[in-house]
Amino acid sequence: MKRVMRGAVLASVAAAAVTGCVTDKGACETMSKGCEPSVVVKPFGKTKDGQLVQQYTLTGAGGVVMDVIDYGGKVVRLFTPDRTGAKTDITLGFNEVAGYETHDPYFGSLIGRYGNRIAKGTFTLDGVTYRLPINNEPGGLPCSLHGGKRGFDAYVWHSEPLSEGRSVGVKFWMTSPDGDQGYPGKLDVTVCYWLTPENVWRIEYEAVTDKATPINLTQHLYFNFKGEAEGTILDHELTLFADRMTPVDKGLIPTGEVVPVKGTPFDFTTPWPIGARIQADNEQLRFGGGYDHNWVLNNQSGKLAPAAALYEKSTGRFMEVWTTEPAIQFYCGNFLTDQVPSKKPGKKLCYRGGLALETQHSPDSPNQPAFPSTILRPGAVYKSATEYRFGVK
């Protein structure tokens, strides 16, 4: 999608802000009839070191509304209609910046430079060994997770509103300096979020580097189609367009094998309730504490294709995930507890209270020569796109 020049965008945003479609709560009052698309910008808060954090409320012409902040490109709230047209916030997040600074479930965040785990926090590239910060130790085995101690989720990004036709969005960009979190190369990253009239949230990632470096950008939104803090996601029905997955060791690092899912609790090639087989006597489920694994998508073409579908029958909410990426991490909130606060006063989150479908390359690819490469070289452009398509059934 083409980007609009900043001046033009701001004009359209100013016009949109006076349509009256968006209230202070970021809600669209004419949901069932659709909305005038708009982007409204307002302060969200400040980081602990005093940086101002801006919130963008994107109201899509199809009625989906999302609040997004420039701190980590986080989606704070996401309102989608159920089958009666009633809207609910279906994502986990925090009302204040401090929540994001205190807790680490990566709610709604952009993840980089490397989404997922790198074994022992080290890799060798072109004969040079690099060391990354260790910030995770499942099963007592140290690794570097989601970009290290300070990943892209913990930066205030540059940002500006976008609009084209009846789609609205926000563009984020930042430069990660050479050596950031141990990674080589100065990396310039741009991520655009678009909300289309068809209720598609499209994410476009782009990056360039001045030295060869691994890169694996993703988005870590948690979904609960019954609503934030409305119980577990075990009743959601999941489909994964993947005949194979990458088994892990107890540190959640791939063993290097790629195995068929047929006949196992990892077979989501037809829709299955997430909770149906999660207690099965299965070593992989024990290592993950449930589902926390990487599936190799059937589509390896690099072109946009279906990766996953999710359905919740009491609300009728349905979503398809499409991506250009070769793999997807399905994480069903095994590390969540009621110690992580809800956005709603008086409500609590819970164990398995949300799930993430993170499109990406497989974990530890820099140490796995048989996996598709995650190395970006100078002169090449990293490009990736993912769409979350919202609807009802």
Q: Tell me the closest approach of the beta carbon of residue 115 to ligand GAL, in angstroms.
A: 7
Nearer to ligand GAL, 19 or 367 (CB): 367
Taking CB positions, which residue lies at the least distance from ligand GAL?
331
Examine residue 332 and tell whether it contacts ligand GAL (CB under 6 A): no
Contact in structure between 240 and 269 (CB atoms under 8 Å): yes
In contact, 308 and 223? CB cutoff 8 Å: no
Least separation in angstroms between residue 17's CB and ligand GAL is 35
Smallest gap, in angstroms, from Cβ of residue 339 to ligand GAL? 13
CB of 375 to ligand GAL, least distance (A): 21
Widest CA span in the chain:
59
- Binding residues for ligand GAL, how many (CB under 6 A)? 10
Task: Give the nearer residue to ligand GAL in terms of CB position, either 37 or 354.
Answer: 354
From candidates 237, 358, 364, 387, binder to ligand GAL by CB under 6 A: 358
Looking at the Cβ atoms of 335 and 351, the one nearer to ligand GAL is 335
Binding track, positions 150-189, relative to ligand GAL; x by CB under 6 A: ----------------------------------------
145 binds ligand GAL (CB under 6 A): yes
Residue of 331, 376, 157 whose CA lies nearest to 384: 376
In the complex with ligand GAL, the residue whose CB is nearer, 35 or 238, is 238
CB of 252 to ligand GAL, least distance (A): 6
The residues in 291-330 that bind ligand GAL, with binding defined as CB under 6 A, are 292, 329
Q: Which of 227, 221, 246 is closest to 387 using CA atoms?
A: 221
Clarify whether 160 is annotated catalytic. Answer: no
Pick from 96, 259, 335, 367: which binds ligand GAL (CB under 6 A)?
Answer: 335
Nearest CB to ligand GAL, comparing residues 129 and 339? 339
Contact in structure between 62 and 199 (CB atoms under 8 Å):
yes
- Select which of 160, 204, 358, 387 is catalytic: 358
Write out the binding residues for ligand GAL, residues 49-108 only, by CB under 6 A: 105-106
342 touches 350 (CB < 8 A): no
Residue 138 beta carbon to ligand GAL: minimum distance, rounded to whole angstroms: 7
CB of 353 to ligand GAL, least distance (A): 12
Nearest-approach distance from CB 292 to ligand GAL, in angstroms: 5
For this structure, is 220 an active site residue? Answer: yes
For residues 258-277, which are near ligand GAL according to CB under 6 A? none
State which of positions 99-118 bind ligand GAL (CB under 6 A): 105-106
The secondary structure of the chain, three-state, reads: CCCCCHHHHHHHHHHHHCCCCECCCCCECCHHHCCCCEEEEEEEEECCCCCEEEEEEEECCCCCEEEEECECCCEEEEEEECCCCCEEECECCCCCHHHHHHCCCCCCCEECCECCEEECCEEEECCEEEECCCCECHHHCCEEECCCCCCHHHCECEEEEEEECCEEEEEEEEEECCCHHHCCCCEEEEEEEEECCCCEEEEEEEEEECCCEECECEECCEECCCCCCCCCCCCCEEEECCCEEECECCCCCECCCCEECCCCCCCCCCCEECCCCCCCCCHHHHHHCCCEEEEECCCCCCCCEEEEEEECCCCCEEEEEEECCCEEEEECCCCCCCCCECCCCCCECCCCCCEEEEEECCCCHHHCCCCCCCEECCCCCEEEEEEEEEEEC
The nearer residue to ligand GAL, 39 or 357, going by C-beta atoms, is 357
Per-residue contact track with ligand GAL, 233 to 252, x per CB under 6 A? -------------------x
Quick check: 331 binds ligand GAL (CB under 6 A)?
A: yes
From the candidates 146, 160, 204, 220, give the one annotated as an active-site residue: 220
Type of residue numbered 66: M
| Residues with active-site annotation | 220, 358
Footprint of ligand GAL on this chain (CB under 6 A)?
Answer: 105-106, 145, 252, 292, 329, 331, 335, 356, 358
